[in-house]
Structure 1
């Protein structure tokens, strides 16, 4: 594809699954090394014909059948134990209604792109907005929200996983058919229309993908491809996926390439890669993406990684556009940054927050200066084992910073947002830090207008699995002091109750209400400042220093790409604190103050309580 003569239809040809051929027939291919016989059952056609698949080397089965796009089909697989099951295609591009239903043959060429020449945006321009597609009304509902998000200053939406999961309500991390967009959200073409519309508005689309596990219901791979999983390594979700197997590695690489090349998403967020046993696969994935993406197109890969592996992230040479300099991935979600800010904002110290509660101001300063708080030090929540790698050399854009996301809200027992937990002035100050710091900011849906709506954990499992999920979730909170009493744990919402999902749908801001309107106006102002004053200076930006300010704040400085110095001063304490004047320039360089008088206080070396001040010192003309 070139900008001068773009294609308008895109398809990614995979070595497995269903592929519509030029003559109108369909090639189907399945890796089933534990099968003795595989048939294709064609459904919704007179007599429901079946076609036997031919065995190929290395456990593959293939057939070309005289059907085209829109055909429903299932594989009928007999395994070595003599058990026969009718199963969906693990690489189905669409499902009829749900996981138990048949797979659908899809012709990717059916969608004509309106903005086929879109080449994305540079990473440093990213302002992420994480959302749950189902909670916003499906693919069409999200598409309708895009113009207002673009006007607000959002440059990229990030969709929580959309791969087919059992039922109609789920966070998406229980997906079992990763190539098929969730049927309850809409069709493949409706997802493409969402992405196409975003591109027309100048917005990128990121997709959260789950390559570390499958959900507990509807995964049939154990029946005919046991080698997909290891029997010697367990994860929190069951047997580890075996990334030593070439077929397994290729399965997920092809999934990534389908989303990037066929659906034209601009980036992927890889969920919990610390649970992927073969780290070299991550490098292989990134290399294949680079080889596949058209020249001149911006595509970004982002990690969630408990290991804080700085060596996986791109270094300053790469960010500067000169090549080399570090790993293969643009950035990592900065859980360290969230966790220490949450401790400072709420005072909570339970569970994993204990690792940040000993010296939160110092830990915040390290996050602002280096990105990671834990860079190899013993972590009290990891049995005091060393966690992380040195990250001082990385640019600030290698870290995605957030105050809230699906995990950090939804993994609370009652899904409370910070608007229900934090003093408004303190939250305003933290919002200023989030949106004006050189790290890449991310908002969670509704955060831009101060939503009070909870975001709860929800599923739509049935029977014994539903009971296990409900009781398991309540047991998780037994370690929290507030839920030590079993009767208190009974109050935690049932994930499988439809009301739990409905309570998590944020709706829209009431423009007639001054409070959400004030939030929206402030978010818009902060993002406008970011785009005019921060983003153009981000290439080649680097941290200068950061120090703790009192017991609940920090002062951080960055040398920006044009030589200017950005200074951010945050005090989340309930009292004013003294400020070392050597680190602060003249208040005439004020870029933003979260409360009136904040900058004026610096003139007398005091920083008001629950406030943030941002200064920008531009170099004098030569």
Structure 2
């Protein structure tokens, strides 16, 4: 552990000190004057002095108590704390002092990554209440179904009461519509008691468009002239900026008990330093020495294996697998599906054999991207038939089952959950939900109108999506995205299928994944049929799948769907050596 990691500098937020005092910090290097505005209840508001250090950090040690409201006055402008752990309302309201405390995870030793069977959930639509407390009540049922990991879409506070979470502006504060910090800790504790690990989706590449007061307090936080698709890029070449993200990651894992992080769009994190921010983050998190593994998963459009090669990340989202599956079963060829629509069956074969399809080679209808990744173990790739992006970024939020029907979907479901790659389902997928998951926000005024127009503009590249994009600001767009409010008639059939597949995975696939993979061979046996053989030190997995043309049977298969002569079918067999 480096000295900086052992004793991180105090650039941001309040820290309790001795004698009932707190040390408040704000990195505002260009400010001429900064004061702490403290509301100590009956004593009313007080503007208290802060002094500027040579590093541009303003400090003030003052008597305060947990629960007091506070903020900063920067050159005459009042702002909440950018590192607020709790707000007294929305993103423009005062912050509330929270006594930091590590989560009590005694008795929880975590989950080996090879055991991961993930369900991605959006807290606001996972239940009718849309809260951490209500979500916690569903966890025992998920565990009984075979889910071993839940991945929460971002929960950091954003403007409005509803949204996907990727427009967060207060990364240290749980979104109040979901509940309190204690409610989130309780959710994770319930998950751990059920044997479920919890990952958090975090966004370190941009801030949302409303309530990001760092633009006021610390303009240097954002790189001059550099942008992401969602706003100004963050300048991680500066240590105070870097610590904002690093200490945030430490907070989620140490103080809340998260078992890891899913890092959104790391390709959009501009970091000139070495080690890369994500590498340093992994080092810091593992240096916490919590007695359990901490898993980092990346989303990286570049298809580069660097973070997995160096051991920084355990896996990356492999959208190539999704795109091949989607193009094959829907026939869609718009926008980013175009390269995969040329020969989707061949691309699916490649994804099952090597992980990523794009490995730097020239591809039809697209620029080369990526680097060879077939040397990585299958657990280095997270595969999904559906995610929040791939459902919600469709104009109508259509689920794949609504586009192709249940018969081919069952084959895809079985292939996903029994292959050696790490599987992820999107909430409701385990019961065959048809309910759409749409894009929604709770913005108001000009920003709401801008989102409406931008959403309509986005779908010009997708001719197949048609017109009539749902209003992302309308409340029923949000409430209509709850998958469990209107479960399908075949819910129990789907739940039983998921349970059976995940039981097979836990009993037969996972033991192989904990040994070294020797080789993989996947090939087509028909225009829309394939056979796969994955060999490991401890045994092998043999799988056949038909997605429109019949497949050859596997004698003595462990699991089957359909018959060998059927257009849609599946079989798999695990043999231990």
TM-score range, shorter chain: over 0.9
Tell me which residue corresponds to 2:420.
438
Query: Counterpart in 1 of 2:205?
Result: 212
Q: Provide the secondary structure at the position in 1 that maps to 2:93.
A: coil
Q: What's the counterpart of residue 546 of structure 1?
A: 522
For the 8 Å contact 1:20–1:106, the answer to whether it is kept is: no
Farther-moved stretch of structure 1 (46-55 vs 427-436) = 46-55
* Residue in structure 2 matching 1:105, options 90, 93, 97: 97
CA contact (8 A) 1:14 1:254 kept: no
Say which SS state the counterpart of residue 428 (structure 1) adopts: helix
Query: Please, which runs of 5 or more residues in structure 1 have no aligned partner?
Result: 1-11, 79-83, 315-325, 602-607
Measured in 2, the distance between the counterparts of 1:60 and 1:102 equals 20
Distance 1:14 1:367 in 2: 45
Equivalent pair of 1:364/1:554 in contact (CA under 8 Å):
no
- Determine which of 297, 304, 308 is the counterpart of 2:303: 308
State the 1:541 CA deviation.
2.8
Name the counterpart of 1:524: 499
Whether contact under 8 Å (2:70, 2:94) holds in the other structure is yes
CA distance, structure 2, for counterparts of residue 210 and residue 26 of structure 1: 28
2:372 matched to 1:390? yes
Deviations 1:367-399 (A, max 9, x none): 111100000123556xx4320110011000000
User: Hey, what's the Cα distance between the residues in 2 that align with 1:277 and 1:13?
Assistant: 22
- Report the Cα offset of residue 478 of structure 1: 1.3
1:311-333 superposed Cα distances (whole Å, 9 cap, x missing partner):
2114xxxxxxxxxxx43110001
Q: 1:89 aligns with which of 81, 93, 96?
A: 81
Q: 1:542 to 1:228 in 2, by over 3 A?
A: farther
Report the equivalent of 1:364: 348
Shift of 1:429: 0.4
Aligned to 2:43, the other structure's residue is in SS state coil
Superposition map of 1:184-223 within 5 A: 184-223=177-216
Partner of 1:504: 481
Aligned length: 562
1:59 aligns with 2:56: yes
For residues 557-581 of structure 1, the C-alpha deviation after alignment (integer angstroms, 9 at most, x for no partner) is 111241x2211212212x325x5xx
CA contact (8 A) 1:449 1:509 kept: no
Q: Is the 8 A contact 1:32 1:225 kept in 2?
A: yes
Secondary structure of the residue that 1:473 maps to in structure 2?
Answer: helix
| Structure 1 residue 553 displacement after superposition | 3.4
Query: What's the Cα RMSD here?
Result: 1.8
> Aligned pair 1:183/2:176, yes or no?
yes
Q: Equivalent residue for 2:438? A: 456
Tell me, in whole angstroms, the C-alpha distance in 2 between the residues paired with 1:544 and 1:47. Answer: 69
Q: Is the 8 A contact 1:70 1:104 kept in 2?
A: yes
Which of 134, 152, 158 is 2:151 aligned to? 158
State the distance in 1 between where 2:285 and 2:570 align: 40
The equivalent of 1:615 in structure 2 is: 573
What residue is the counterpart of 2:4 in the other structure? none
Alignment map for 1:228-267 (pairs within 5 Å) = 228-267=221-260
Task: Provide the residue aligned with 1:342 in structure 2.
Answer: 326
The CA deviation at 1:243 is 1.4
1:556 aligned residue: 532
What's the offset of the Cα at 1:618? 3.2
Are 2:386 and 1:404 aligned? yes
In 2, distance between residues paired with 1:133 and 1:13?
33
Q: Provide the C-alpha distance between the structure 1 equivalents of 2:498 and 2:11, rounded to a whole number of angstroms.
A: 46
1:493 paired residue among 470, 475, 495: 470
Partner secondary structure for residue 269 of structure 1 = strand
CA shift for structure 1 position 514? 5.1
1:247-285 superposed Cα distances (whole Å, 9 cap, x missing partner): 111110111111111111001000000001227222221
Aligned to 1:7: none
SS of the residue corresponding to residue 309 of structure 1 reads coil
**Alignment partners' CA distance in 2, 1:27 and 1:457:** 40
Distance 1:327 1:379 in 2: 29
Deviation at 1:423, TM superposition (A): 2.6
1-side partners of 2:541 and 2:575: how far apart? 6
Could you say which residue in structure 1 is the equivalent of 2:3?
none
Checking the alignment, whether the CA contact within 8 Å between 1:361 and 1:549 is kept in structure 2 is no
Q: Distance in 1 between matches of 2:103 and 2:453?
A: 47
CA distance in 1, matches of 2:576, 2:473: 55
Query: Aligned partners of 2:108 and 2:389: how far apart in 1?
Result: 31
Contact 1:509 1:516 in 2 (8 A): no
Match 1:298 to one of 267, 284, 293: 293
Secondary structure of 1:453 counterpart: coil
**Partner residue, 1:48:** 45
Instruction: Go from structure 1 to structure 2 and tell me whether the alpha carbon gap of 1:495 and 1:560 turns closer, same or farther (over 3 Å shift).
Output: same
Distance in structure 1 (CA, Å) of the matches to 2:162 and 2:213: 20
* Of 534, 537, 541, the match for 1:566: 541
TM-score w.r.t. structure 1 length?
A: 0.87
Normalised TM-score (structure 2): 0.94
Task: Determine the structure 2 residue equivalent to 1:281.
Answer: 277
Higher alpha-carbon deviation: 608-617 or 14-23: 14-23
Alignment partner, residue 114 of structure 2: 124
Q: Which moved more, 1:216-225 or 1:265-274?
A: 216-225
Shift of 1:507: 2.5
Cα offset, 1:530, TM superposition: 0.6
- The separation in 1 between residues aligned to 2:345 and 2:251, in whole angstroms, is 44
Residue 591 (structure 1) aligns with: 558
Task: Supply the distance in 2 between the matched residues of 1:126 and 1:401 (Cα, whole angstroms).
Answer: 11
Which whole-Å CA distance do the structure 2 matches of 1:58 and 1:553 have between them? 62
Q: Which residue of 1 aligns with 2:509?
A: 534
Instruction: Give the distance between the partners of 1:379 and 1:389, measured in 2 at CA.
Output: 13
- Give, in angstroms, the shift of residue 412 of structure 1: 0.4
Determine the C-alpha separation between the residues in 1 that align with 2:247 and 2:561: 46
Q: Distance in 2 between matches of 1:542 and 1:36?
A: 63
Q: Please report how far the alpha carbon of residue 542 of structure 1 lies from its aligned counterpart in structure 2 after TM superposition.
A: 4.4
